[in-house]
């Protein structure tokens, strides 16, 4: 099922990474071009949908840990994507109703559906900001963020499945550094990233094919190896078990994964700013 109607600012003739991700997760907010590109990825990597769900489940577990174990009550989710239940604020506020969350994205279709991100508990608050992650100051200096989050108190910065869409020439490490520099000590970084660090040579080759599929649709996809992903955490204190595949990060006892042995998801990690 695909989205209907025309939304200003959206080119429905070209696939978009957020709408493709929605398709992988079984959502409804996508168009035929997104379906065709996503199906081309699935034809290449049949477990792409399982990878997306593993990444989503990592966000849920990491958010719950941040609230219950680290005591975090403020979240900044950059590249939030199309709303998919449970959204980050629903996970956080289920544990701490007073939690506050700011979502940001630069895709007009996310703005169209952002109301789903604003159903906060009475004790907490959520806000949505349409902004470009490549310009951190437009996020951190915005009225929406300043009226929702206190930047003198710890904030969990969530950038899940975002930076593999930021090519090297844009300065991904500098972008993230510009965000983290403005957050106080005791803040956290929660990051997941598509990786080329795959033991199976055949799967690694398929990853390069996926990069080409995204490129044909006009989206840069930059798979990075473990050392390149680890660089995003430079200067931070990694939470155990460190940087691992998303489905291996503190899995729930007894939980089963759709991924078979040897199949990757995304590299993921959580770290504290000292």
Q: Say whether pLDDT at 6 is over 50.
A: no
3-state secondary structure (DSSP) of residue 272:
strand
Q: Do 82 and 3 contact (CB within 8 A), yes or no?
A: no
pLDDT in tens, 24-69: 999 988 999 999 999 999 999 999 999 999 999 999 999 999 999 9
C-alpha span between 240 and 200 (Å, rounded): 25
pLDDT of res. 57: 97
Q: Can you read off the two tokens belonging to residue 150?
A: 């206190």
The whole-number average pLDDT for the span 132-147 is 92
- pLDDT greater at residue 273 or residue 196: 273
For residue 4, name the pLDDT band (cuts at 50, 70, 90). very low
Phi, psi of 133 (to 5 degrees): -60, -25
- Calculate the CA dihedral of residues 16, 17, 23, 28 and round it to 10 degrees: -50
pLDDT tens-digit profile of 185-240? 999 999 999 998 887 888 888 889 999 999 999 999 999 999 999 999 999 999 99
| Sequence-distant (≥ 6) Cβ neighbours of residue 4 within 8 angstroms | none
Q: Looking at per-residue confidence, does 247 or 4 come out higher?
A: 247
């Amino acid at each position: 099922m695909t989205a209907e109607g025309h939304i200003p600012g959206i080119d429905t003739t070209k696939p978009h990474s957020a709408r493709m991700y929605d398709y992988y997760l079984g959502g409804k907010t996508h168009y035929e071009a997104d379906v065709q590109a996503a199906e081309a990825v699935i034809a290449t990597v049949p477990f792409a949908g399982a990878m997306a769900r593993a990444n989503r489940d990592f966000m849920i577990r990491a958010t719950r840990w941040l609230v219950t174990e680290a005591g975090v009550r403020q979240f900044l989710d950059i590249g939030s994507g199309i709303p998919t239940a449970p959204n980050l604020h629903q996970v956080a506020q289920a544990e701490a109703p007073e939690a506050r969350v700011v979502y940001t994205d630069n895709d007009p279709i996310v703005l169209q559906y952002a109301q789903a991100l604003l159903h906060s508990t009475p004790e907490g608050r959520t806000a949505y900001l349409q902004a470009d992650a490549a310009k951190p100051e437009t996020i951190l200096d915005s009225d929406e963020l300043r009226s929702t989050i206190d930047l003198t108190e710890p904030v969990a910065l969530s950038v899940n499945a975002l930076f593999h869409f930021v090519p090297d020439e844009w300065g991904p490490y500098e972008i993230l550094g510009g965000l983290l520099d403005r957050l106080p000590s005791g803040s956290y970084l929660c990051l997941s990233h598509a990786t080329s660090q795959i033991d199976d040579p055949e799967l690694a080759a398929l990853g390069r094919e996926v990069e080409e599929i995204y490129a044909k649709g006009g989206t840069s996809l930059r798979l990075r190896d473990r050392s390149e992903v680890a660089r995003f955490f430079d200067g931070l204190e990694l939470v155990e078990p460190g940087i691992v595949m998303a489905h291996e990060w503190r899995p729930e006892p007894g939980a089963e994964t759709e991924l078979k042995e040897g199949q990757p998801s995304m590299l993921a990690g959580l770290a504290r700013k000292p």
